[in-house]
Structure 1
């Protein structure tokens, strides 16, 4: 069996490893556009502040290990430009030599990930304007940072906030430009004010409701032009989101943003072609729809499922519930499930419970408040979503709630959970139990 995998990172190499472990007759070829295999993209911002000493420390396995130890035909600088699904053939060019190549496949996995969006605006090709998605991109940024005093970050989502924190911890002045009225706009507005206050407390200049319309400079960027004015800077980091790398894949069913729609077995709409990771759809168990929430955890899980199915098993990807967490200076920001906007799109009638709760027992030293916002379906009482902003213990509560969501528990059933308790870790009624204890229905 000839297997071709496009993409040598999380989803692609998770799949490749499952195939070579479980089907000894499979010949696996991996085509990677760059030269780096299997690295932890989520760790890249922490190279900036030195918590990760070198970007290369994020590499889990290098290309030579895949070749010599596992027998995978791992290619580098092989950019795929087209897939002929009738002839079952992958076509592309060698990035260095510009020579064309072709590979015939019995099974194909598209695991090309996503690329940062770079708005097409005036002077976007100036030097000193960066994105942080790959190790080469990070190394290029790190070469310029020693000569920089002021950095502008465009975008107030996950990556934007992580970059703002790490640049500020490096001792540089930072400006954050956000086109909307809130930072971390995936959260409901009752919690976003806490994030804004944390940014200001840590010396970040925050500009809300400003659209970036261009850059100023000759060779290097010298300023950012927005709808409100011109803001001088030494360097720009753009973190305005990502787009699935699926432009070469024609004739497939796709989401509106270009992500390839897959079923439980990670099969696309075309026979013998699978997709996984940031280039694929992610079935959301909460809204029961094909969604797009690109995260490393999901990419690895989908890649594993795709690899096992290609190897001859019958495995199913059971879906996501939309769980994520972020550190922003002293704040931990977590969410799982749907927010109000997503619930409104479903025309779901939900009740929102907003509370300030303690992370540990109220009498124990260093107790800290957490702001919690829980959504519950009005009639069924099923859990819909949870958002928490606090300093400690957010991860524990988000993970417990995500597990409850996955298992379709109700609001009142949270009270039945047998959770770990000791004063340094929790109150006797855990933070996520306090809303149903106070507001739950008594039969």
Structure 2
């Protein structure tokens, strides 16, 4: 049995390892267009200010490990340009320029996603960076010389906010441009104000409702042209989102969403027999929305990859779905969300209620207690949990994971009161903040 995997990172190599464990003697070939395998992309921003000492520390398993220890034909510099679904062939070009063709019995597409570059004019100038891969980050690090004073970050999502913090820690002046009225769009607007306050507290120049139209400079970027005027800059980081890397599938008949994400079923199968997909290039079933969704996260990529590998190995291993849980650090603030926010509930037509609470993350009388802010969304008719947003300096991660587990289990607001959660004054109040909001608003 010939297994071919396109993509050598989270989803692809999680699948490869499951095939290796479950199919003795399997012939596994992985094709990576770059030259680095299995690394933690989410750790990239923290290499900038030295919190993580080197990009090498982000690599979980190198190419040689896959080849020598597990017998996987892990290839680098192999870019796939197309698939012949009738002949079951993958074809493309090596870094040397030489063409290749490879047959498969089962194929996994795990090509991830690429950063988008919506601003075309001047995008070729030196000093304009995206941060998605180790080589891209190393290019940025090489460019962050002492004479770089002002860095402009475009986009206020996960990467934009994380990069703002770490670039600021390097002693640079940071400007963050967001085209909409608030950053951290995973939150509702009133909760994003906490993020705005944290940005101002740390001298981040925040420009909202601002469209970037072009970049200008002789050889290197010198100005960012916006609909509100020109801004001087020494370096630009584009962090406006990603797009599934699936353009090479044109003409294959593989079903995709409008954004290019490959539609998969619970077993990670595509619309074409013997072809699977997983990770940032694929759809994810959303348990709360009860429909296919696209929320590309490293946790989901690893889980989907693992299950794709099991299904390709002949095991019954359905992917049960996501609830859309994410968290990020922004200076002294933790920002977390799971399920849907109020804006999304309106868009989807849910008949919902929203409840808010401000509470201490531990017993209020214990030294160091800090305030967190919680907003939850429930379905009106039965108080089924639909989503939560939590921001604060401490204790946010614990609560968002509890709520995510409750969402996955389809619990109601009153159900939270029955949870047996850990309590001691240094760790919690006798009623956890999630239970406090249930006590105040839950209908039994």
Q: TM-score range by the shorter chain?
A: over 0.9
Question: Bigger CA drift: 279-288 or 52-61?
Answer: 52-61
The residue aligned with 2:86 is 86
Give 1:284's match in structure 2, choosing from 254, 273, 286: 286
Matched, 1:232 2:232: yes
Query: 3-state SS of the aligned residue for 1:146?
Result: coil
Structure 2: 5+ residue runs without aligned partners? none
The residue aligned with 2:332 is 330
The C-alpha deviation readout for 1:386-413, integer Å capped at 9, x for no partner, is 0000010000000000000000000111
Deviation at 1:120, TM superposition (A): 3.7
Give 2:260's match in structure 1, choosing from 258, 261, 285: 258
The residue aligned with 1:53 is 53
Moved over 4 A (4+): none
Matched, 1:370 2:377: no
The residue aligned with 1:123 is 122
Query: 3-state SS of the aligned residue for 1:213?
Result: strand
Matched, 1:275 2:277: yes
Q: Distance in 2 between matches of 1:260 and 1:74?
A: 24
Deviation at 1:346, TM superposition (A): 2.2
Q: Distance in 2 between matches of 1:49 and 1:175?
A: 17
Deviation at 1:65, TM superposition (A): 0.8
The residue aligned with 1:428 is 430
The residue aligned with 1:203 is 203
Query: 3-state SS of the aligned residue for 2:144?
Result: helix
The C-alpha deviation readout for 1:76-131, integer Å capped at 9, x for no partner, is 00000001111110010012x21110000000000000001111421000000000
Deviation at 1:216, TM superposition (A): 1.1
Structure 1: 5+ residue runs without aligned partners? none
- 5 Å-filtered alignment, 1:16-415, equals 16-95=16-95, 97-147=96-146, 148-250=148-250, 251-415=253-417
Q: Distance in 2 between matches of 1:113 and 1:372?
A: 33
Deviation at 1:344, TM superposition (A): 1.7
Q: Distance in 1 between matches of 2:265 and 2:127?
A: 41
Q: Distance in 2 between matches of 1:16 and 1:74?
A: 10
Aligned residue pair count? 441
Deviation at 1:345, TM superposition (A): 2.5
- Aligned-pair RMSD on alpha carbons? 0.8
Q: Distance in 2 between matches of 1:346 and 1:162?
A: 29
Question: Bigger CA drift: 371-380 or 335-344?
Answer: 335-344
Q: Distance in 2 between matches of 1:342 and 1:133?
A: 27
Q: Distance in 2 between matches of 1:179 and 1:121?
A: 16
**Is the contact between residue 325 and residue 338 of structure 2 (CA under 8 Å) also seen in structure 1?**
yes
Query: 3-state SS of the aligned residue for 2:248?
Result: coil
Q: Distance in 2 between matches of 1:62 and 1:124?
A: 33
The C-alpha deviation readout for 1:367-390, integer Å capped at 9, x for no partner, is 111111000100021000000000
Q: Distance in 2 between matches of 1:94 and 1:410?
A: 53
Deviation at 1:365, TM superposition (A): 0.8
Deviation at 1:433, TM superposition (A): 0.7
Deviation at 1:415, TM superposition (A): 0.4
**Is the contact between residue 182 and residue 189 of structure 2 (CA under 8 Å) also seen in structure 1?**
yes
The residue aligned with 1:418 is 420
Deviation at 1:30, TM superposition (A): 0.4
Q: Distance in 2 between matches of 1:433 and 1:191?
A: 20
Q: Distance in 2 between matches of 1:56 and 1:118?
A: 27
Query: 3-state SS of the aligned residue for 1:35?
Result: coil
Deviation at 1:341, TM superposition (A): 2.3
Question: Bigger CA drift: 272-281 or 340-349?
Answer: 340-349
Deviation at 1:340, TM superposition (A): 1.5
Q: Distance in 1 between matches of 2:155 and 2:434?
A: 31
The C-alpha deviation readout for 1:122-171, integer Å capped at 9, x for no partner, is 10000000001001001111011023111100000111000000000111
**Is the contact between residue 383 and residue 442 of structure 2 (CA under 8 Å) also seen in structure 1?**
no
User: How high is the TM-score relative to the length of structure 2?
Assistant: 0.98
Query: 3-state SS of the aligned residue for 1:36?
Result: coil
Deviation at 1:252, TM superposition (A): 1.1
**Is the contact between residue 186 and residue 337 of structure 2 (CA under 8 Å) also seen in structure 1?**
no
